[in-house]
């Protein structure tokens, strides 16, 4: 399924997509087993006004869980503090976890009646959690915010809907970008104001860097950022991760072999160390050990903090022949409750209503705003790095928004590691991983209906 982010529509590290999800309490006073089909008729419904009428009830405390452990976390905390100042009878406290821990902890916490009132999920995790009834329907919030499909990109907009019911409110889009160290480029005689943007110029730049004793592009064997880079390359070479309805993995076809071969050859030809540790590629860019790094928009603020680092960022180069880049999206959700609490339900919706309108401030944390009107505003265009990466909006791709898709992506990550770190045969490794992924997809089709 080619999920192309078009300019007609609206605007994540897909992180934790494959994390285990446990049982959840839903509705009434008692803990019930989740409906594995995710039938919306059995799920709790919204209160009608979606928070648009504000909150005038008694003082209430809300817990907001998220995985914003990087520089973006400080921006979200600032927004929460501002909300708390404006709403005297609502106190929102923030708990920040690593994304993997977040996705692992949330279901069991909800089941035990200790879940948060508000949460955030990546675009490819919403359907899974909706199917297991871990999150509440939010059609009322979408109506209160007057959200329209015309103001959203098709994939993030549709990702919040499961069986014709909306379960998430899109906040942002976070794409990959091409970060480069200008000082290192100059050492190899390259123009630091003209980064290479196609296959020929990219390989020429790497060869010139190699002649200067510099390994120009380090190949990470880890999902972040190697896996996201390889997804981008697969799409650039004309391939896709899955077929149209995401019932079969397709990354083992010719475009996948071509993309992974190019990637593997970077180390074989001396443009990358044979073994790259987690995040070592990004650290090497900052330390002047390498020139190029494909990384997420969330890296912008990290690099801004390096006063002595001369760097730049542009859209991803076109290596395979088609412009393409991986992207994710953060979406607001409300976990289900073990017991009804009308005050918290209303106050939580007031928070979602308010904070979704602050997307320009959120963009400063290293994101692309959710709404086209904000993304195209003069205020957003005044954020040069974010605006530069938002310019590739037509070429962004997302994982398909189907329940359990992250389980299959584990096999993609295994193939990435085998090919990059162990140097295994590309075609054989991809073929084996596809077979395993297809079995997972088949099992999930029965599991989720």
Q: What is the mean pLDDT of residues 216-238?
A: 97
Checking if the pLDDT of 211 tops 60, the result is: yes
Checking if the pLDDT of 38 tops 60, the result is: no
Question: What residues form DSSP beta bridges with 177?
Answer: 295
Q: Which residue has the higher pLDDT, 402 or 449?
A: 402
Checking if the pLDDT of 12 tops 70, the result is: no
Q: For position 356, what pLDDT does the model report?
A: 85
The two domains 40-171+329-384 and 175-327+404-448 share their CATH topology (first three levels equal): yes
Within 10 A of 340 (CB to CB), how many other CB atoms are there? 11
What value, to the nearest 5°, has the Cα angle with vertex 382 and ends 376 and 383? 95
Separation CA 247–CA 49 (nearest Å): 38
Q: What is the mean pLDDT of residues 15-27?
A: 31
Checking if the pLDDT of 313 tops 90, the result is: yes
* Choice among 17-26, 67-76, 92-101, 141-150 with the minimum mean pLDDT: 17-26
Q: For position 48, what pLDDT does the model report?
A: 59
Checking if the pLDDT of 154 tops 80, the result is: no
Q: Which residue has the higher pLDDT, 121 or 49?
A: 121
Chain centroid to Cα 74, Å, comes to 18
When the pLDDT of each residue in the chain is averaged and rounded to a whole number, the result is 88
Checking if the pLDDT of 44 tops 50, the result is: no
Checking if the pLDDT of 144 tops 90, the result is: no
Separation CA 118–CA 351 (nearest Å): 9
Instruction: Report DSSP letters for 205-264, one per residue.
Output: HHHHHHHTT---B----SIIIIIHHHHHHHHHTT--SB-TTSSSB-TTSHHHHHHHHHHH
Separation CA 399–CA 287 (nearest Å): 32
3-state secondary structure labels for all residues of 65-111: EECCCCHHHHHHHHHHHHHHHHCCCEEEEEEECCHHHHHHHHHHHHH
Pick the CATH number of 40-171+329-384 from 3.30.450.40, 3.40.190.10, 3.40.50.300, 3.30.560.10: 3.40.190.10
User: Taking the domains of the chain in order of start, what are their residue ranges?
Assistant: 40-171+329-384, 175-327+404-448
Q: For position 22, what pLDDT does the model report?
A: 28
Q: For position 50, what pLDDT does the model report?
A: 77
Per-residue pLDDT of 91-103, as tens digits, reads 999 999 999 999 9
3-state secondary structure labels for all residues of 288-329: CCCCEEEEEHHHHHHHHCCCCCCEEEECCCECCCCCCEEEEC
* Choice among 6-10, 168-172, 304-308, 331-335 with the minimum mean pLDDT: 6-10
Checking if the pLDDT of 33 tops 60, the result is: no
What percent of the chain clears pLDDT 90, i.e. is strictly above it? 76
Residues 6+ positions from 264 with CB-CB distance below 8 Å: 219, 419, 420, 423, 426
Checking if the pLDDT of 43 tops 90, the result is: no
CATH 3.40.190.10 fits 175-327+404-448, yes or no: yes
Sign, CA dihedral 102-366-161-436, equals negative
Q: For position 350, what pLDDT does the model report?
A: 95
* Choice among 38-47, 68-77, 311-320, 360-369 with the minimum mean pLDDT: 38-47
Q: Best-predicted range by mean pLDDT among 64-78, 184-198, 388-402?
A: 184-198
Checking if the pLDDT of 81 tops 50, the result is: yes
Q: Which residue has the higher pLDDT, 125 or 6?
A: 125
Q: What is the mean pLDDT of residues 285-311?
A: 96
Q: What is the mean pLDDT of residues 289-312?
A: 96
Checking if the pLDDT of 168 tops 60, the result is: yes
Is the whole model's pTM more than 0.95, yes or no?
no
Separation CA 172–CA 384 (nearest Å): 17
pLDDT confidence tier of residue 447, bands split at 50, 70 and 90: very high
pLDDT confidence tier of residue 375, bands split at 50, 70 and 90: confident
Within 10 A of 247 (CB to CB), how many other CB atoms are there? 13
At 62 the three-state DSSP class reads strand
pLDDT confidence tier of residue 370, bands split at 50, 70 and 90: confident
Q: What is the mean pLDDT of residues 210-218?
A: 98
Checking if the pLDDT of 427 tops 90, the result is: yes
Checking if the pLDDT of 126 tops 90, the result is: yes
Separation CA 272–CA 227 (nearest Å): 16
Sign, CA dihedral 300-302-304-309, equals negative
Q: What is the mean pLDDT of residues 264-285?
A: 97
């Amino acid at each position: 399924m080619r999920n192309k982010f078009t300019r007609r529509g609206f605007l994540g590290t897909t992180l934790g997509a494959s994390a285990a999800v446990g049982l959840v309490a839903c509705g009434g006073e008692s803990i019930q087993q989740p409906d594995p089909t995710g039938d919306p008729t059995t799920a709790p419904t919204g209160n009608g006004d979606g928070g648009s009428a504000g909150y005038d009830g008694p003082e209430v405390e809300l817990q907001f869980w998220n995985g914003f452990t990087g520089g973006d976390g400080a921006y979200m905390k600032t927004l929460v503090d501002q909300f708390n100042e404006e709403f005297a009878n609502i106190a929102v406290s923030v708990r920040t976890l690593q994304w993997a821990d977040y996705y692992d902890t949330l279901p069991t916490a909800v089941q035990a009646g200790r879940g948060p009132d508000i949460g955030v999920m990546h675009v490819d995790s919403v359907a899974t959690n909706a199917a297991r009834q871990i999150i509440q329907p939010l059609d009322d919030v979408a109506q209160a915010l007057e959200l329209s499909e015309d103001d959203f990109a098709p994939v993030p907009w549709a990702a919040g809907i499961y069986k014709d019911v909306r379960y998430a409110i899109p906040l942002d889009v976070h794409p990959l970008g091409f970060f480069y160290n200008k000082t290192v480029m100059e050492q190899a005689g390259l123009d630091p104001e003209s980064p290479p943007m196609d296959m020929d110029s990219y390989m020429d730049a790497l060869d010139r860097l190699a002649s200067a004793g510099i390994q120009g592009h380090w190949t990470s064997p880890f999902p972040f950022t190697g896996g996201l880079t390889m997804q981008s390359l697969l799409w650039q070479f004309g391939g896709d991760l899955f077929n149209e309805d995401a019932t079969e993995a397709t990354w083992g076809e010719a475009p996948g072999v071509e993309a992974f071969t190019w990637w593997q050859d970077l180390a074989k030809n001396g443009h990358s160390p044979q073994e790259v540790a987690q995040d070592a590629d990004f650290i090497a860019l900052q330390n002047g050990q390498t020139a190029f790094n494909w990384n997420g928009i969330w890296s912008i603020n990290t690099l801004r903090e390096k006063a002595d680092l001369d760097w730049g960022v542009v859209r991803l180069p076109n290596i395979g022949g088609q412009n393409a880049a991986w992207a994710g999206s953060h979406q607001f959700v409300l976990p289900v409750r073990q017991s009804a609490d009308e005050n918290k339900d209303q106050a939580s919706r007031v928070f979602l209503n308010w904070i979704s309108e602050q997307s320009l401030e959120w963009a400063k944390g290293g994101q692309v705003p959710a709404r086209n009107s904000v993304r195209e505003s003069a205020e957003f265009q005044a954020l040069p790095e974010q605006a530069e990466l938002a310019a590739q909006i037509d070429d962004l791709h997302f994982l398909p928004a189907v329940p359990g898709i992250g389980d299959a992506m584990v096999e993609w990550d295994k193939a990435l590691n085998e090919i990059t770190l162990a140097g295994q045969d590309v075609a054989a490794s991809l073929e084996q991983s596809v077979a395993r992924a297809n079995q997972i997809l088949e099992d999930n089709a029965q599991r989720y209906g």
